[in-house]
Amino acid sequence: FSEAGAKPRGALIVVEGLDRSGKSTQCAKLRSFLESSGHPTELWRFPDRETSVGQMISAYLSNKSQLDDRTIHLLFSANRWEKRSLMEEKLKGGTTLIVDRYSYSGVAFSSAKGLGIEWCKAPEVGLLAPDSVLYLDISPERAAERGGYGDERYERVDFQKKVSEFYQTLRDSSWKIIDAGDSMEEVEKKIQQVVLDKVKECALGKSLSLLWS
């Protein structure tokens, strides 16, 4: 993507963390920050509840429907695959994408239910690998004290503990651990420099790679 005349590509920035760790709050702040710094940016989220697959996922999460554990896992994955080509197009066109949850959520949540981690990773192989994963680190107990907790299927402290253990097994060099117990402003500041550096690196020709190969 660094050939002469090619547009500098956008960065794929993923934000992960337990339920109520502050991901959506920080994604919105990060988007305004990047845009005001002159970087074309879009905010995406998974599950994308707008698509037909996303509507099935949404019904499941709000306990309006029941699905077998493997079935819902594959739907979450399909929901990422249905956006993959658009994702690549946007990045190559120079747009930075901030993505609120991605394959790491997919694997951590399903593994916490007892599905094998390798089985969980398999359908994610070949999706675009993030340039940076910001992991908002908070204890399940503190997260549970935050607004709206307990409304959806996975929002139970014991389950979130298991999820956090599986998240740790997925860490690699693209991850940055952010203390999400700090104030919103502190968290925001910590994220900004990490992301700005990554956006510059991508514009200078860092190549896109694929999960988990």
CA distance 108 to 165: 8
Closer residue to Na ion, CB minimum distance, 24 or 95: 24
Q: Which residues of 188-202 are buried (b: 16+ CB within 10 A; e: fewer)?
A: bebbeeebbebbeeb
CB atoms within 10 A of CB 27: 21
Closer residue to ligand T5A, CB minimum distance, 9 or 105: 105
Instruction: Kindly state the smallest distance separating residue 182's Cβ from Na ion, in Å.
Output: 18
Q: Rule CB under 6 A: which of 54-113 touch ligand T5A? A: 61, 76, 100-101, 105-106, 109
Give how far Cα 64 sits from Cα of 24, 55, 59, 152, 158, Å: 23, 11, 5, 10, 22
164 binds ligand T5A (CB under 6 A): no
Closer residue to Na ion, CB minimum distance, 184 or 204: 184
Q: Which residues contact 86 (CB under 8 A, 6 or more apart)?
A: none
The piece of 18-26, 85-93, 125-133, 191-199 that touches ligand T5A (CB under 6 A) is: 18-26
Report, in this order, helix, strand and coil percent for the chain, each rounded to 5. Answer: 50, 15, 40
24 binds Na ion (CB under 5 A): yes
Q: Which of 11, 29, 47, 121 binds ligand T5A (CB under 6 A)?
A: 47
- Under the rule (CB under 6 A), what is the footprint of ligand T5A? 17, 19-25, 46-47, 61, 76, 100-101, 105-106, 109, 146-148, 152, 154, 183-184, 187
